[in-house]
């Protein structure tokens, strides 16, 4: 059951939907490969019947975890808006240059196929309406099939996503630096945001923390 769950989860992240009809064989083939690696023989048809018997439980589990969402009667990936952000120890945003922006995109291609940058917004959007345009754009993208959505940009661009509470998950890289505060690189919130820590890891001298937004 666990291997079936893992392969279904992987398929959903890769394709943006729960496997249906002949797509199930893609998942089953990977599960069966794992079975054979353990020198266990089980008829393929038996594995297939097991999948069918557990399908409802799998769907319910994945929906409960927030990975799947019912959209017009079809189960599809809930497309999270994820923000990778780099800060100092005292919480000041560190802007990335254009080269680093491209590296950030390459880092997340396995889980995301949409990258929101300043260029993603409609042309000639007034500053006062930019945050509204960001919300509208995310709403449109979420309705489409696909992987997760990554927001990438300098502090002036990403601030609106944070302040308007559009972000579902934060990937925060903390640099061992203490920087002086300035208005451009600070975030002002009008309300408290509850976050759940998902993971912590060390990358060189940096600490990388993943947080889920709890609404």
Q: Are residues 134 and 47 in the same domain?
A: no
Does one domain contain both 53 and 124?
A: no
**What pLDDT, on the 0 to 100 scale, is given for residue 57?**
93
Please state the φ and ψ torsions of residue 213, each to the nearest 5 degrees.
-75, 125
Domain endpoint, select from 29, 58, 76: 76
Give the end of a domain, one of 76, 106, 135: 76
Sequence-separated (6 or more) residues with CB below 8 Å from residue 144: none
- The answer on 98 and 193 residing in a single domain is yes
Q: Residue 103: give its domain's CATH number.
A: 3.40.430.10
Are 83 and 104 part of one and the same domain? yes
User: The tokens 């940058």 sit on which residue?
Assistant: 117
Maximum CA extent, the chain = 65
- Structural domain total, the chain: 2
| 100 and 182 co-located in one domain | yes
Of residues 15 and 181, more confidently modeled: 15
Same domain, 1 and 54: yes
| Mean of per-residue pLDDT scores for the chain | 86
Tell me the pLDDT tens digit for each residue of 69-104. Answer: 887 778 889 999 999 999 899 888 887 766 577 787
Give yes or no: residues 92 and 148 share one domain: yes
Domain of 7 in residue numbering reads as 1-76
What average pLDDT does the segment 170-175 reach?
95
């Amino acid at each position: 059951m666990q291997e079936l769950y893992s392969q279904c989860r992987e398929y959903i992240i890769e394709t943006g939907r729960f496997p249906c009809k002949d797509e199930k064989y893609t998942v089953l083939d990977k599960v069966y490969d794992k079975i054979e690696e353990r020198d266990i023989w089980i008829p393929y048809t038996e594995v297939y019947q097991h999948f069918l018997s557990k399908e409802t439980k799998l769907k319910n589990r994945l929906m409960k975890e927030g990975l799947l969402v019912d959209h017009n009667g079809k189960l599809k990936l809930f497309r999270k808006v994820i923000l990778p952000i780099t800060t100092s120890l005292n919480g000041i945003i560190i802007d990335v240059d254009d080269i680093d922006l491209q590296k950030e995109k390459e880092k997340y291609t396995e889980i995301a196929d949409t990258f929101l940058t300043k260029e993603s917004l409609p042309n000639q959007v007034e500053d006062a309406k930019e945050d509204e345009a960001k919300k509208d754009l995310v709403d449109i993208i979420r309705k489409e099939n696909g992987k997760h959505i990554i927001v990438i940009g300098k502090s002036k661009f990403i601030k609106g996503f944070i302040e308007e509470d559009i972000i579902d998950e934060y990937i925060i890289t903390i640099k061992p630096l203490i920087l002086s505060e300035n208005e451009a690189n600070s975030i002002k919130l009008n309300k408290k945001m509850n976050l759940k820590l998902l993971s912590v890891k060390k990358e060189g001298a940096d600490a990388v923390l993943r947080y889920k937004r709890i609404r």
